[in-house]
Amino acid sequence: MKIPPLISYLGKSIAFGLMVAALLLLFFPTLRGGALLPDLISNSREMSFSYAAHRAGPAVVNIYTRSFAGARGEKAELRPQGLGSGVIMNPRGHVLTNYHVIADADQIIVALQDGRVFSAELVGTDRLTDLAVLYIESDNLPVIPQDPDLRPDVGDVVLAIGNPYNVGQTITQGIISATGRLGLSSMGPDSNGRQDLLQTDAAINEGNSGGALVNANGDLVGINTAAYHLNGNQESYGISFAIPYRLAKRIMDELITNGRVIRGYLGISSVEINPIVARMMNLGDLRGLVVESLDPTGPAARGGLRRGDVLLKINGEAISGVRAAMDKIVESRPGAQMTISVIRDGKPFELTVTIEEDLRYQNQQAASAAGSS
């Protein structure tokens, strides 16, 4: 007997539907209890940063400082002075924090999240970047996760971990709002040599200084250093700063190795060539820096550079901006020869200058220490 086409079509459809249902029940047992497929699809865990918090949190420590005060008689009493946070950077016990957290402290106490408490030794400080390295002696120390290839970018989700107001370890969340903030890189003779900062809207309060800024994986992005308040207004939220990880790590390594940071010095102040500067100086499409002023006794002046010179390359590499040029100079060892491609009065040529060590701030710091002793 011949089956009508309509009945044949319906039979095949029903058979196919039963087969699909059987497969769903076999591979998704939760559907047997009456759960709907849309519920299954949306039944995922809400977005959480607990993985990053648990991965990085144990390596962020509380720092307490004490100083001798009121020594009128024969006894000098140690009294609480300050509060901050720090980050354990390696298993040897080196802790990175802000300089201003431990400045003028006579005793530094480091408290771990597992309850251990240590008296820390000061390894070295760098006031220009507001960084200090401490040392604690212990085994089985938690170390903050680090990725040397990490390149933070605007919009990245970040977590600030620290001990605000001594309430205990606290984690706040935000994004990187900007990089290279405050124009802290400068080639000027009077600049303080500080590098660019990361700006974030993650809350950083008193006690957070020296703590960790990490990404959603728990990798260290920077060292929290400051919150911005306009004219002392403590209600200015959303503008906080951190020292980038790569800079902080480099400073830490130098402090551990040398006890101080050795910086190269050229002795010029410059501006980038933008379209306006290029038009005024008839430079066309050239990109680089224009020398505004020089330290008359600095290596640049002695090497033959003049005000108004256009700098195009350093050691054969095109100059992309003031900050990049500053990095090359600061990271050069004193005594190193630096070849600079220059245009003067429309004529290109090269100059070789010898980098010197930047002792300006060290001299200021020594004078300040002598004045306060």
H or E stretch covering 250:
helix 245-258
Among candidates 134, 121, 158, 120, which has minimal Cα distance to 244? 158
The residue annotated as part of the active site, out of 85, 126, 130, 341, is 130
Q: How far is it, in rounded angstroms, from Cα 342 to Cα 30?
A: 73
14 burial (CB, 10 Å; 0-12 / 13-18 / 19+) is exposed
Is 94 among the residues known to form the active site? no
In the structure encoding, which two tokens stand for residue 174, read together?
Answer: 């935000």
Is 130 among the residues known to form the active site? yes
Strand 170-181 to 197-200 pairing = antiparallel
Q: How far is it, in rounded angstroms, from Cα 337 to Cα 264?
A: 11
* Dihedral sign from CA coordinates of 335, 337, 342, 345: positive
The residue annotated as part of the active site, out of 209, 240, 269, 332, is 209
First to last CA, the chain: 113
Is 190 among the residues known to form the active site? no
- Tell me which DSSP letter residue 304 carries: T
The secondary structure of 176-225, three-state, reads EEEEEECCCCCCCCCCCCCCCEEEECCCCCCCCCCCEEEECCCCEEEEEE
Among candidates 247, 262, 254, 269, which has minimal Cα distance to 356? 262
Q: How far is it, in rounded angstroms, from Cα 347 to Cα 94?
A: 52
- Tell me which DSSP letter residue 33 carries: G
Q: How far is it, in rounded angstroms, from Cα 60 to Cα 98?
A: 13
Instruction: Quote the longest CA-to-CA distance of the chain.
Output: 119
Q: How far is it, in rounded angstroms, from Cα 158 to Cα 219?
A: 10
Among candidates 301, 309, 304, which has minimal Cα distance to 270? 309
Among candidates 351, 339, 349, which has minimal Cα distance to 305? 351
In the structure encoding, which two tokens stand for residue 68, read together?
Answer: 């001798």
| Residues labelled catalytic | 100, 130, 209
